[in-house]
Each structure stands twice: as C-alpha cells, then as structure tokens.
Structure 1
Amino acid sequence: MSELVSTFKDRLREGINYAGLTQSELARRSGIHRAIISDYVRGKYEAKQDKLYELAKVLNVSEAWLMGYDVKKERRHPEEVQNTNSGNGDITSEDIDHYFNGLRSYEGLKISDEQKAFMRNSIKSFLESQKAMNNKSKQGD
C-alpha cells in the first residue's frame, strides 16, 4: 500500500518545476487565485479536493503523488486502467491504489483517507481470497 513520503507543499513545488511553469501561469491555467497558490507553496494551506484535481490536471501529475504518496508521478488516464499490461482486462494492485486514492466523495459526502484505505484494503483482501480459492480448486482437479 502507498504511504506518505513527502509534503503537499514540496510536491507542489516539484510539480511546478516538472511542468516548467511559474506560479502565476499555474494560477491562470488552473483558475486558482495566485495568492492561494503562493499559500500552498509556502505550506500555509493544503489544497482541498477540487483544487487538488485542478492542480494535478494542469501539472500533469497524479493527485495521489501531489498529496505526497509514494506513487508514480505521471498522471494516468482512465483508458490506461482499463488496458493494463496483461492486455486481457485484468487490473493490478496499482490500479486499485490509483482508483481509491482518487476518490473524493460519494453523493456529496466526503470520503476520508481512512475510509479510502479501508475500501482499498477490503477490495484487495477479497480479490486475494478469491485468487487463493481459485488456485486451491485448480490443485484439486
């Protein structure tokens, strides 16, 4: 499972450099006021979900990476989750992490990091148990 390895402000600075933008240009492209971007960079505030999404989109980085998680920096597109390396529609543990890290709310109710972790771990545990049962039944054949 991914864990926090950096701060939002450090990742935002790195993302701005990675994208080759100024804070002013990031503000213009994201629609977030320049003073708020400055506050984020100084660590005064952390972006809320809607602003985090806009920043990540403009910087072309994943939201989870921008939040400080130990995940790939590059932004993944929905079609990449559907077309995994296996080519047969299988999802990977990384796909599950990416999906749950990106959740923000359900019907207007905020989803906390703890809730995301619980859901992510529940799905992974379920799938691993199904895999083990499948392997066990194959051995009995």
Structure 2
Amino acid sequence: MKTISERIKEGLEIRELKQADLVNLTGISKGALSSYISGSYEPKQKNIYKIAKALDVNEAWLMGHDIPMERNIQKETKSSYNPNELTKKDEKSIQKDLKQIMDDFKSGQDGPAFYNGVELGYEELELIEQAMELALKSAKLKNKAKYTPKKYKKEE
C-alpha cells in the first residue's frame, strides 16, 4: 500500500501542479504541506479532504487504498456549468496570471516599487498580491457572467 506522501507526489505529477499551487488551492501552509510530502507527518482528515479536492482525487486513494484515483463526484458538464462560480481551471489560470504579475512586480526590472516615496517591503507586496488575487477573481466572474451564452445560464 502506498503512503499518503507518495500519493500526494503522484497526484501533483498527474495534475501537473507544483507544491506552491497546492498551497494556494488548499490554504494549507507551505511548511505543513512540505512535511506531508516528505512523509514526516500525515495530514489530519480535514487536510486530506482539502488536498484530495485540490488534486481532484478520491480521499481513500490519497490515503493509499487500492481503489480508483478519480473522485466519485460528477464531473463538471455543460449542463452543470455555473458562470457565477470559479472552476478549478479558472483558479489555476488566475494563480498563473497572479504569479506572472507578481514576479514582474517583485523582480524590480522597472526599478523598485514605491508608495508615497517609500520603497515597498515584503509585507506590503504580500498585501498587494492578496488584493490582486481578489481583483482577478472578481474580473473572471464578471467576464464569465457577461460572456456566457444564454443556453448555459441557469434558470432562476
């Protein structure tokens, strides 16, 4: 029977995600996730659920049981499409865009970032990143609502 550590690594590889992506998708700290992946600690049930959901795998499979990897939850279809919710694909796209924006911002290629004549520090850049993530999610939801064909919109 494979360990949770091995299954997390396998899930990351299959889903083409990095550890940082899993941190963003689950809200689990980088240190805790690192200890799960190294095998130092096993996650508690709530974190097993978060990791399984983020990797789109069955929780029992993640815990090492010999069952199919895929979740039993019905996959998203056109009929269940909801323009008022972000999909995993949307979340991944937002995280990719956010990373690119923040990498450009933090690189200092255009010079250091200042506000009111004071150079922005790490904490301020983290706050900007959080605000940028909210802005990107909001923009994505507005665009989905605006550009989703009527045939996919749910009747209310």
Give me the TM-score of the superposition, normalised by structure 2: 0.46
Distance in 1 separating the partners of 2:52 and 2:20: 16
User: Could you tell me how far 1:60 is from its partner in structure 2?
Assistant: 0.3
User: Could you tell me how far 1:35 is from its partner in structure 2?
Assistant: 1.1
Number of aligned residue pairs: give it: 75
**1:46 and 2:64 aligned:** no
How large is the RMSD of aligned CA atoms in angstroms?
1.4
Identity %: 40
Mapping of 1:104-115 within 5 angstroms? none
Measured against aligned partners, the alpha-carbon deviations of 1:69-98 in whole angstroms (never above 9, x if no partner) come to 00000011179xxxxxxxxxxxxxxxxxxx
Mapping of 1:46-85 within 5 angstroms? 46-77=42-73
What is the aligned partner in structure 2 of residue 9 from structure 1?
5
Higher Rg? 2
The letter for the 2-side match of 1:11 is R
The letter for the 2-side match of 1:17 is E
Distance in 2 separating the partners of 1:34 and 1:58: 15
Measured against aligned partners, the alpha-carbon deviations of 1:27-56 in whole angstroms (never above 9, x if no partner) come to 011010111111111001111100000000
Give me the TM-score of the superposition, normalised by structure 1: 0.51
Distance in 1 separating the partners of 2:53 and 2:7: 14
Structure 1 runs of 4+ aligned residues shifted over 2 Å read none
What is the aligned partner in structure 1 of residue 21 from structure 2?
25
Structure 2 counterpart SS, 1:9 = helix
Gaps spanning 5+ residues in structure 1: where? Answer: 80-141
Gaps spanning 5+ residues in structure 2: where? Answer: 76-156
